[in-house]
Amino acid sequence: MKLYTFFRSSASFRLRIALNLKGLDHESVFVSLPKMENFDSEFTNLNPQQLLPTLVDGDDVLIQSMAIIEYLDETYPEIPLMPDTPSKRAYVRAVSHGIACDISPLNNVGPLRYLENEMGIDADKRQAWYEHWVKKGFIALEALLVQRGLSGKYCFGDQVTLADICLVPQVFNAQRFNCPLEDYPTLMGIFSNLMELKPFIDAQPDNQPDKV
């Protein structure tokens, strides 16, 4: 199993957590986003979307972190990352997609680079852009967790799920950009609990060999 990753990529961070939780051995191949190595022909031939992460498992080349994590959960079912009923799985997916679909894509390196280089948006306005989407997304997620009453130690009771795998990298990014987080006590309490777990600690950006 071979993982193409970058230490600061939120999507790669998600997949590193999932691989750690399932105890799956893998070789890491480091692809620098600042150096735009994801646009090199060799990587493009592997993943035409030119995005991280990419996972090679035998003859299968898997792309998109959410799809890869669900593949891992179906293929390597030990330590399941989803609950056991359709309604509970729908809840976990709602939390997960609220991060992976509604917050992260607007604030990753591609859009921020475009705002700067193509649209001439200065650093202060790019920061305002980043904070806006984090705030909008986290307000909704905090309300959802409180309203549904299904969270506990983690986003879904005391079971670590896909929702937690998505939450931690997004909080790391928000902290990196100095976003205020005091208005989200439920989310941040869950984050603190998750960061006591070795699979999350080992997956964090500062613990990656390609950290620069």
- The verdict on residue 207 lying in a domain is no
State the average pLDDT over residues 81-110: 95
- The verdict on residue 127 lying in a domain is yes
State the average pLDDT over residues 141-160: 97
Q: Is the pLDDT of residue 212 over 90?
A: no
- The verdict on residue 63 lying in a domain is yes
Same domain assignment for residues 155 and 90: yes
Distance CA 112, CA 168 (A): 21
Residues 6+ apart with CB under 8 A from 150: 88, 91, 156, 157
Condensed to tens digits (0 to 9), the pLDDT of residues 11-31 reads 999 999 999 999 999 999 999
Q: Is the pLDDT of residue 72 over 90?
A: yes
Sheet holding 60-63, edge to edge: 27-30, 2-5, 54-57, 60-63
Q: What is the dihedral of CA 183, 184, 185, 187, to 10 degrees?
A: -170
Last residue of a domain, one of 48, 79, 110: 79
- The verdict on residue 65 lying in a domain is yes
Last residue of a domain, one of 22, 49, 79: 79
Q: Residue 174, Cβ neighbours under 10 Å: how many?
A: 23
Same domain assignment for residues 75 and 130: no
Same domain assignment for residues 22 and 60: yes
SS3 112: helix
Q: Is the pLDDT of residue 89 over 90?
A: yes
Instruction: Quote the strand ranges of the chain, DSSP E.
Output: 2-5, 27-30, 54-57, 60-63
The CATH number for 123's domain is 1.20.1050.10
Condensed to tens digits (0 to 9), the pLDDT of residues 162-206 reads 999 999 999 999 999 999 999 999 999 999 999 999 999 999 999
- The verdict on residue 206 lying in a domain is no
Residues 6+ apart with CB under 8 A from 144: 94, 95, 98
Q: Residue 100 is part of which domain span?
A: 86-200
Same domain assignment for residues 134 and 38: no
- The verdict on residue 141 lying in a domain is yes
Last residue of a domain, one of 34, 61, 79: 79
Same domain assignment for residues 67 and 8: yes
CA 77 to chain centre: 20
- pTM attached to this predicted model: 0.95
pLDDT at 108: 87
State the average pLDDT over residues 117-129: 95
Same domain assignment for residues 91 and 187: yes
Distance CA 40, CA 94 (A): 34
Q: Is the pLDDT of residue 34 over 90?
A: yes
Average pLDDT of every residue of the chain: 97
